[in-house]
């Protein structure tokens, strides 16, 4: 039988981060207090917000020191024996995402998990797009299941509601990521953080998380400077813009599609590196001479 939980999804919690400064805005202060209240107990908790508002990240902050955090990504597993799920999450936190989409059988399975979780010392954290009252009225959700999460319903604000708090949130993300990996000691410079406060986010908190993670991973030293952060942001923008290119290429011949992709790709990396051939070649993973020929071919030089 396939394991109910992917071991690669295991994380370690760090609840001390919740006690640090989240920011100054009223909405982030309320969010922090809800997390603090939930971290003090062991009852099931429900994180409510968009799929990109960071439920997976913030769920980890509710764990006690060295407590494992595991994620149940396949909701059909709730239709089978729950004993295996509880055994693999023994002594830790079990996170179930997007419970809005659970059918009645899966809801019954989740309710069984809630009722049996104490026996295996497992704490359940669920994430939903809709608040409990909407799940009940619009989706006919299992009332007993919703009641089991009623002690801790945490509303995750959209990143656009706390832009001014991004420097504090970046520090929280950095601490969580570096303490889980071999990137201990790495930090973003104030100038790099400033670039993140000016960025136009399309994918809410998860976009900020991705940018910070990439910057920490590819930093050449302990501190991520503004130049590195700018390249990371431009690469992210490139990936986003190429999604639009992908939707258009199916109306082209293969040769036209390849040329279209190359042209847009080259334009973006040259903009990101401010025309630095050596740096652009490193990003593209090709020799400088080959990059130069491609630029001439596409008339980008």
Helix 226-249 with 190-198: angle, nearest 10 deg: 30
From CA 261, how far away is CA 281, in angstroms rounded?
Answer: 16
Compute the Cα dihedral for 169, 170, 176, 179 and give only its sign.
negative
Residue 1 within any structural domain of the chain: no
Residue 2 within any structural domain of the chain: no
CB-side neighbour CA atoms (13 Å) of 209: 14
Residue 69 within any structural domain of the chain: yes
**Domain shared by 88 and 149, yes or no:** yes
**Domain shared by 212 and 150, yes or no:** no
**Domain shared by 285 and 234, yes or no:** yes
Domain termination residue (choose one: 106, 141, 157): 157
Contacts of 247 (CB under 8 A, 6+ apart): none
Residue 68 within any structural domain of the chain: yes
pLDDT score of 81: 84
Q: Helix count (H) and strand count (E) of the chain?
A: 13, 8
* Phi then psi dihedrals of residue 145, to 5 deg: -65, -45
CB 72 within 8 A of CB 85: yes
**Domain shared by 145 and 202, yes or no:** no
**Domain shared by 151 and 57, yes or no:** yes
Find the CATH number of the domain harbouring 49.
3.40.50.300
For the chain, residues with pLDDT lower than 70 are: 1-16, 238-252, 300-301
Domain termination residue (choose one: 157, 192, 223): 157
Residue 65 within any structural domain of the chain: yes
Q: Using alpha carbons, list the distances in angstroms from residue 1 to 5, 72, 84, 106, 144.
A: 12, 16, 10, 19, 30
Q: Which domain holds residue 19?
A: 7-157
This prediction's pTM? 0.75
**Domain shared by 260 and 129, yes or no:** no
**Domain shared by 31 and 173, yes or no:** no
**Domain shared by 26 and 149, yes or no:** yes
pLDDT score of 240: 63
Q: Which helix (H) or strand (E) holds 193?
A: helix 190-198
* Strand pairing category for 223-224 and 153-155: unpaired
From CA 165, how far away is CA 163, in angstroms rounded?
Answer: 5
**Domain shared by 11 and 151, yes or no:** yes
Q: How many domains does the chain have?
A: 2
Question: What's the gap between Cα 206 and its chain centre?
Answer: 4
pLDDT score of 44: 96
User: Phi-psi bin for 230: left (phi > 0), alpha (psi -120 to 50), beta?
Assistant: alpha
pLDDT score of 213: 93
Residue 240 within any structural domain of the chain: yes
**Domain shared by 48 and 175, yes or no:** no
Domain termination residue (choose one: 157, 184, 200): 157
pLDDT score of 9: 47
3-state class of 48 per DSSP?
A: strand
DSSP assignment letter at 217: H
**Domain shared by 185 and 267, yes or no:** yes
Residue 216 within any structural domain of the chain: yes
**Domain shared by 151 and 251, yes or no:** no
């Amino acid at each position: 039988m396939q394991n109910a939980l992917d071991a690669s999804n295991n994380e370690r919690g760090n609840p001390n981060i919740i006690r640090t400064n989240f920011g100054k805005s009223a909405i982030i202060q309320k969010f922090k207090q809800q997390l603090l209240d939930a971290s003090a107990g062991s009852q099931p908790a429900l994180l409510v917000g968009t799929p990109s508002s960071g439920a997976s990240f913030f769920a980890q902050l509710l764990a006690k020191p060295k407590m494992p955090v595991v994620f149940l990504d396949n909701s059909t597993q709730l239709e089978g024996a729950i004993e295996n799920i509880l055994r693999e999450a023994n002594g830790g936190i079990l996170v179930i995402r997007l419970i809005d989409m659970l059918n009645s059988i899966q809801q019954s399975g989740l309710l069984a998990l809630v009722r049996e979780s104490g026996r295996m010392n497992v704490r359940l954290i669920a994430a939903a797009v809709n608040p409990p009252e909407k799940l009940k009225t619009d989706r006919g959700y299992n009332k007993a299941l919703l009641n089991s999460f009623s002690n801790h319903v945490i509303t995750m604000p959209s990143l656009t509601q706390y832009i001014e708090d991004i420097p504090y949130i970046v520090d929280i993300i950095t601490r969580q990521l570096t303490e889980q990996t071999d990137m201990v000691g790495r930090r973003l410079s104030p100038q790099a953080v400033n670039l993140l406060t000016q960025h136009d986010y399309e994918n809410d908190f998860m976009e900020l998380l991705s940018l910070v993670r990439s910057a920490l991973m590819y930093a050449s030293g302990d501190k991520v400077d503004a130049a590195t952060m700018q390249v990371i942001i431009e690469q992210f923008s490139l990936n986003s813009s190429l999604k639009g290119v992908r939707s258009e290429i199916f109306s082209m011949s293969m040769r036209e599609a390849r040329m279209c992709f190359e042209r847009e790709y080259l334009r973006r990396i040259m903009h990101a590196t401010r025309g630095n051939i050596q740096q652009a070649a490193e990003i593209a993973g090709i020799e400088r001479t080959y990059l130069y020929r491609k630029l001439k071919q596409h008339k980008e030089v």
